[in-house]
Chains A and B, each alone.
Chain A
Amino acid sequence: MLAYVVRRVLYAIPILIGVNLLTFALFFVVNTPDDMARIHLGAKHVTPEAIVRWKADHGYDKPLFFNGTATGPARLTDTLFVEKSLGLFAFEFGQADDGRDIGREISIRMWPSLAIALPTFLVGLLVYVSLALILVFFRATYLDLAGVILCIVLMSISGLFYVIGGQYLLGKLWHLVPISGYAPGLEGLKFMLLPVLVGVVASLGDSSRFYRTLFLEEIHRDYVRTARAKGLPERLVLFRHVLGNAMIPILTGVVVVIPRLFLGSLIIESFFGIPGLGSYTIDAIQAQDFAIVRSMVFLGSVLYILGLLLTDLSYTLVDPRVRLE
């Protein structure tokens, strides 16, 4: 298995270089370093000299991919791409355009993201799987039909509606939770309730339907019939046998998400004032802060690759037939 993990890690390197290359190309197709300087220097009294100084100060005064004025390998290494990319592979993210250390910001902001994303993920998983199993239990009845219709209705509503509706009802009208905000520690519990609830409800429709479909695939298998024939109660048949055997497709969707929980949710964080990495990314895109965008895309890629690796590893835990070589 170790050889497999090492091989997968090595595969990740060209992928990350490719992602970084694409990020560079896409970002600089839209924005030139001059544009970035203008945005950061503001609208008033911006002189061409100030733009030149800003670019030099932030290291944007070099060619993107090929330095025609250099000689030898420096033609490729003395470029914006290489200078800004190398550090990323050592998780040295450098400074944002406003001078703040990106690594420190990430280390601070991942906790609020996690504080919302982790309970949403865990509670959500429990609710979705339970609801799906209940629907499967009542399959082909009016309850199942009502549940499926409810799921479709929930799926059809924009996530933003749940956010605004939740804030309006629970925060503004009924005064039960703060409309938005965040605080660290125990004081933050009151702020977590609404975003977690909204996060769970927003995905209730599609996730429950997805799991219902998985469980329906399993419910007609021979082993289920055998379990019933043994006289096992339906509760155990569903939660032990059906759920256990549906684990591989569940893990495929679930484990890959776990590392990315650190990155938070863009909408939830923005509307609930959660100072996490989701809002950090959105702010950076709006401010055209390439240093942050590049770092967050890189980090997202690394976590996604990590998630895929963990998914593969988790298969060996739930299915003894799977061997990673």
Chain B
Amino acid sequence: MRALPWLLALLLAACGGPLNNPHASGQAGRDILLSSFSERPKHLDPARSYSENEVVFTGQIYEPPLQYHYLKRPYQLEPLTATEMPQVRHLDARGRPLPAEAPAEAIAFTSYEIRIRPGIRYQPHPCFARDARGGQRYVPLDAKTLAAVDRLDDFRETGSRELIAADYVYQIKRLANPRLNSPIFGLMAEYIVGLQEYGAMLEQVVRDLPRDAYLDLQRYPLEGARVVDRYTYRITIRGKYPQFIYWLAMPFFAPVPPEAERFYSQPGMARLNLSLDWQPVGTGAYYLAVNDPNRVMILRRNPHYHPDFYPDAGEAGDRAEGLLRDAGRRLPLIGEAVYSLEKEDIPEWGKFLQGYYDSSGISSDTFDQAIRMGPDGQPDLSPRMRERGIELATAVRASISYMGFNMLDPVVGGNDCGAPEPPPGVDGAAPRRSGERLAGCERARKLRQAISIAVDYEEFISIFLNGRGIPAQGPLPPGIFGHREAAAGGVNPVVYRWREDAGGGRVVRRDVAEARRLLAEAGYPNGRDADTGKPLVLYFDTMDAGPDAKPRLDWLRKQFGKLDLQLVIRSTDYNRFQDKMLKGNAQIFQWGWNADYPDPENFLFLLYGPNRKVGRNGENAANYANPEFDRLFRRMKDMDNGPARQAVIDRMTEIARADAPWVFAYYPKSFGLRHAWVENAKPNLMANNTLKYRRLEPAQRVTYQARWNRPVWWPVGILGGLLAIALLPATLAYQRRLRAGAR
């Protein structure tokens, strides 16, 4: 134990910095972002990758033609590798151009013509290395070369080449490659002309090929994706799908050089984990320099990165917050980003507080240390965070969490009740049904409305989310076109009412007495069936299980208990839960949705009848179907943002609120912390390539790290002293016993 201080001192000398520095020495003083990731990415192939934890990497490496403006809100698309926004043309069934204002029914096809900037080059990579004859230097790979290879860096020669339109077309074809199992193939096959058939054809081709043989997609043309010239390509989709343009800002539509796929498909590569899925090749601001997903991933500045500049305009307040200080500067502003694997929250949080990570999220365990709720209910930093110069950024995510009712269930469900009368200016509602069916339908609707009132999500947000959410008033979260703030008439009248007060007014949840009245009208006075007198038992299916979930589930039972309803929790695992949902065997469940793109269509389709889960495998988990809602949805999805679209959305929201297939729970809020030395950190929950805008003050980081991590030696001294005190009587006793033995 007495050697411990010496050992630690030796380590200090080896580290050349604070003893507890988990990073390589010298990194803190350079323009290197130090961050973490909690889950190793599964896929880095842009045709396969679809998770948030993967896009942290793929978003910086791959460049689709479009991107989201970093600063402007609401989110806006802008060209990235494209010279301008795509030229969109509507065509009739014979391929003849239609005017822009042509009705959706007349539009058989829509073409997107995209011209990319000349001169963009790929990152250095061995797949571009050339031999004397101009062929790929490492294709085919001889056994001797392969034997000397363990990592990608072992290929000594690298090269680069210019990005061309054919690379984008190649990637679109890859979406149909059956070996890749792209998660968006099914969706895109519905739209991109010929993609479905292309996939079927490739399945035949693959069947006749050896398992690992190279599949050269360049040999097989795809009707819906064509090269126009070296820098221009055209995508043709069926009908009108205005939201398609958002997909052009995702890595799925980023370019992939065929040479890379050819290079990686050689025998022996897969065994070394060398594949496009693990070693990406892109034109982005960064390339993946170190890929050790078990420990660390390092992105380094792409030396061939094309001219790209920090935006010189943003939304109001950005200039005052210093977000335009780097306007016009060449990107990227940071040379390297080191992401270390941190599976557990506690070590990650500890290192952030020590200054070893530049930014951090806030887990439930650490929330109280980081945040204090102000008297106005607004979150603010705790004094300890303020002392350290830590800054807080919050943003409402383009997501919704809801409690769904299975509309196929005989107790809580019942589609096609008809709908309340529409307001003037919007097409009429479907005719009301009559008779016994309507009565059952209405009963269930009132039951759902009563439950919607009783389940107090303000309380849930306060207890379980530490205030990191906004009670939802409808299916559309803030920031998405169609969302109305409560003060502007966006209150869900079924669950809330607007109360005027000195501050201008606020939303108040309706009283439980109103819920009880609705319940009685539904035929369940005091939670008992009026006909049989038996208590109403409802079933909540969840994959939440274990001790962590118990408080939440107890809380939920209590909410139903307010209406004297008995709630039986049916906890199950992820797979059984999915299975129940697919078969429509769940009754009440909790669900959520993260938007793919900031358009109301991407939320309202969750309630679109033909998109139901049962029988269609869609995303409408409640299996809700309302003819008027569906008709309005078909109209809304093709409309441009404007007053007419807003009116349709308002009506759809009204129908959804009245039918209450969901208890609109909350819109999650993301909280992020960053140290004072991190600049230009504006939350952008849609953009994937935000790393290039960040800037650091490394000197400040070094100073703070040294100040916050001075080793504390006195406990070691005390421990040593205690041990010595404990050993002293033992030593004395030992010697006494030896002397006694000798006698």
A interface list, Cβ under 8 A from B: 30-32, 35, 38-42, 44-50, 53-54, 57, 95, 98-101, 103-105, 108-109, 112, 134, 137-138, 141, 143, 164, 167-169, 171-183, 186-187, 189-191, 193, 228, 233-234, 270-273, 275, 279-280, 283, 287
Contacts and interface: CB of A to CB of B under 8 A. Distances in A.
Given A44-B183, A98-B43, A175-B712, A189 B270 contact: no
A186 B183 contact: no
Given A138-B733, A171-B350, A275 B341 contact: yes
Contact of B183 (A42, A134, A270): A42
Nearest to A228: B741
B186 A49 contact: yes
Contacts of B716: 174, 176
B14 interface: yes
Given A44-B596, A143-B730, A272-B347, 9 more contacts: A35-B578, A46-B183, A50-B183, A99-B43, A164-B346, A172-B353, A177-B11, A179-B20, A191-B22
B344 interface: yes
A273 B183 contact: no
B726 to A, nearest CB: 9
Contacts of B51: 42
Contact of A178 (B20, B295, B574): B20
A272 B350 CA distance: 12
B669 interface: no
Interface centre among B18, B22, B24, B574 (most CB of A within 10 A): B22
Given A46-B183, A187-B14, A143 B340 contact: no
B322 interface: no
A191 B575 CA distance: 38
Please name the 7 residue pairs, one residue from A and one from B, whose CB atoms are nearest each other, closest first.
A275-B294, A35-B575, A47-B186, A178-B22, A181-B22, A180-B347, A174-B712
B343 interface: yes
A238 B206 CA distance: 71
Interface string B577-591: 011000000000000
Interface string B705-742: 00001111101100000000000011001100110010
B30 interface: no
Contacts of B275: 99
B7 to A, nearest CB: 8
Contacts of B340: 181, 273
B277 interface: yes
Contacts of B186: 45-47, 49-50
Contact of B617 (A32, A40, A48, A112): A48
A57 B181 contact: yes
Contacts of A275: 292, 294-295, 341
Interface centre among A105, A141, A181 (most CB of B within 10 A): A181
A173 B714 CA distance: 12
Given A45-B187, A182-B295, A169 B354 contact: no
Given A42-B50, A176-B711, A270-B344, A134 B575 contact: no
B294 A137 contact: no
B164 to A, nearest CB: 28
Chain A contact residues: helix, strand, loop or mixed = helix
B11 A175 contact: no
28 contacts: A30-B573, A35-B575, A40-B42, A41-B183, A45-B186, A48-B617, A50-B183, A50-B185, A50-B186, A53-B178, A98-B43, A99-B270, A101-B270, A167-B347, A167-B350, A175-B19, A175-B710, A176-B8, A176-B19, A176-B20, A177-B20, A179-B20, A179-B354, A186-B14, A190-B19, A270-B344, A273-B340, A275-B292
Interface string B334-371: 00000011111011001101100000000000000000
B712 A176 contact: yes
B50 A141 contact: no
A180 B354 contact: no
B271 interface: yes
Interface string B63-94: 00000000000000000000000000000000
A225 B558 CA distance: 71
B575 A104 contact: no
Contacts of B11: 177, 189-190, 193
A183 B11 CA distance: 14
Interface residues of B, number: 67
B184 A271 contact: no
B278 interface: yes
Contacts of B179: 57
Nearest to B15: A190
A75 to B, nearest CB: 24
A47 B716 CA distance: 60
A174 to B, nearest CB: 4
Nearest to B182: A50
Interface string B1-39: 000000110010011001111101000000000000000
Given A31-B575, A45-B183, A50-B183, A271 B733 contact: no
A141 B186 CA distance: 76
Nearest to B574: A39
A182 B295 CA distance: 7
B584 to A, nearest CB: 16
B273 interface: yes
B372 interface: no
Nearest to A168: B350
A190 B25 CA distance: 12
Contact of A175 (B271, B292, B346, B709): B709
A109 B733 contact: no
A271 B341 contact: no
A46 B617 contact: yes
Interface centre among B272, B573, B716, B730 (most CB of A within 10 A): B730
A180 B617 contact: no
A112 B183 CA distance: 34
B347 A179 contact: yes
A44 B619 contact: yes
B262 interface: no
Contacts of B278: 99-100
A98 B42 contact: yes
A282 to B, nearest CB: 9
A219 to B, nearest CB: 14
A143 B24 contact: no
